[in-house]
């Protein structure tokens, strides 16, 4: 992006900042691994007005690379057991391959993206998950978000693109679930902005029947969530995602939506909104 365009962007942003609205978007692994869908998503993302932050995972690619290296991926309750070799793969895949490819594509779309891990500018601090029943290894639980530093980046017209890595401030990088990073960033940034958190994945929203794309459940509250879990309608990867959504709503995030690529299209109403 030319300096002139950057300058135009930051002026546009200072106008938007008066409204103090921020969009934080997390994209799922299925979209990242599909070249066409990823390009479509990034186009829609770069069109979002006002300050925005992107958070990406890449668990699917990490599994492929681990298998190529003869290491079996191990997941418990949607979180990866991360030994030293697995952590190296996570750093290479999330912080390198995936993050830099996304940043380079956004640069072609007029979006001045800045690739970040939690260690960069000390933006996301974490503690190694304590060993209880399970030893998750080098997995981080977020302990803090430097919302002022991130706000400075937004104020100069940059769009932070966070990968699924945090650090413990003693030199140790930690693998951290991308859904959790998105929720914790949204909570931290809610001190400065009215924040909307979007979880964008390959389906239209939370579905009553996963095989029927037209069965989107438009609103879920804490009570209906319990019922949907009890009925076996919300399972697997959707469980931690919705848990993170409620955690965000209870801690200052204005709105949380789950849906597909059309999530940012004003005409689209086919997505799930979480309410307390």
Ligand X SMILES: Nc1ncnc2c1ncn2[C@@H]1O[C@H](COP(=O)(O)OP(=O)(O)O)[C@@H](O)[C@H]1O
Ligand Y SMILES: CC(=O)N[C@@H](CCC(=O)OP(=O)(O)O)C(=O)O
Burial of 70 per CB tally in 10 Å (0-12, 13-18, 19+):
exposed
Residue 80 marked as a ligand binder: yes
Q: How far is the CB of 33 from ligand X (least distance, A)?
A: 10
* Binder of residue 164, out of ligand X, ligand Y, none (CB less than 5 to 8 A by kind): ligand Y
Instruction: Name the residue whose CB lies closest to ligand Y.
Output: 57
Residue ranges binding ligand X (CB under 6 A): 28-30, 57, 201, 203, 206-207, 210, 233-238, 241
Q: Which does 174 bind (CB under 5 to 8 A by kind): ligand X, ligand Y, none?
A: none
> Residue 90 touches which of ligand X, ligand Y, none (CB < 5 to 8 A by kind)?
ligand Y
How many whole angstroms from its chain centre is CA 198? 8
Rounded least distance, CB 194 to ligand Y, Å? 25
257 is in an annotated binding site: no
Binder of residue 80, out of ligand Y, ligand X, none (CB less than 5 to 8 A by kind): ligand Y
Burial 34-61 (b: 16+ CB within 10 A, else e): eeebbeebbebbbebebbbbbbbbbbbb
Pairing of strands 159-162, 52-56: parallel
| 22, 124, 150, 164: residue in contact with ligand Y (rule CB under 6 A) | 164
Site membership for ligand Y, residue 257 (CB under 6 A): no
State the first-to-last Cα distance of the chain, in angstroms, to the nearest integer: 41
Distances (CA, A) of 249 to 75, 190, 193, 196, 221: 27, 10, 14, 10, 11
Q: Binding marks (x or -) toward ligand Y, 172..201, rule CB under 6 A?
A: ---xxxx-----------------------
Q: Is 137 in the site for ligand Y (CB under 6 A)?
A: no
Identify what 52 binds: ligand Y, ligand X, none; CB under 5 to 8 Å per kind: none
268 is in an annotated binding site: no
The verdict on 80 binding ligand Y (CB under 6 A) reads yes
**167 is a site residue for ligand Y (CB under 6 A):** no
Specify the residue, 142 or 207, whose C-beta has the smaller distance to ligand X. Answer: 207
Nearer to ligand Y by Cβ, of 29 and 157: the residue is: 29
Which residues of the chain form contacts with ligand Y (CB under 6 A)? 28-29, 57-60, 62, 79-80, 90, 139, 164, 175-178
Going by the annotation, the residues of the binding site are: 58-59, 80, 175
């Amino acid at each position: 992006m030319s300096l002139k365009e950057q300058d135009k962007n930051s002026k546009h942003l200072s106008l938007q900042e008066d409204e103090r609205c921020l969009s934080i978007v997390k994209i799922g692994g299925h979209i990242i691994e599909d070249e066409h869908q990823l390009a479509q998503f990034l186009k829609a993302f770069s069109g979002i007005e006002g300050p925005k932050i992107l958070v990406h995972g890449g668990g699917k690619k990490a599994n492929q690379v681990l298998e190529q290296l003869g290491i079996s991926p191990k997941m418990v309750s949607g979180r990866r057991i991360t030994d030293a070799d697995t952590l190296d793969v996570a750093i290479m895949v999330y912080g390198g391959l995936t993050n830099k490819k996304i940043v380079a594509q956004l640069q072609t779309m007029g979006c001045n993206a800045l690739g970040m891990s939690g260690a960069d500018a000390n933006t996301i601090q974490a503690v190694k998950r304590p060993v209880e029943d399970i030893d998750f290894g080098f997995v981080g639980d977020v302990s803090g978000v430097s919302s002022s530093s991130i706000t400075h980046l937004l104020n100069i017209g940059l769009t932070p693109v966070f990968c699924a890595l945090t650090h413990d401030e003693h030199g140790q990088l930690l693998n951290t679930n991308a859904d959790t990073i998105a929720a914790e960033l949204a909570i931290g940034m809610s001190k400065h902005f009215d924040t909307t958190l979007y979880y964008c994945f390959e389906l239209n929203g939370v579905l009553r029947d996963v095989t029927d794309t037209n069965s989107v459940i438009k609103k879920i509250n804490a009570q209906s969530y319990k019922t949907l879990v009890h009925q076996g309608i919300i399972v697997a990867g959707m469980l931690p995602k919705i848990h993170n959504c409620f955690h965000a709503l209870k801690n200052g995030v204005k709105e949380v939506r789950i849906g597909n690529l059309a999530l940012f299209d004003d005409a689209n109403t086919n997505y799930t909104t979480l309410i307390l």
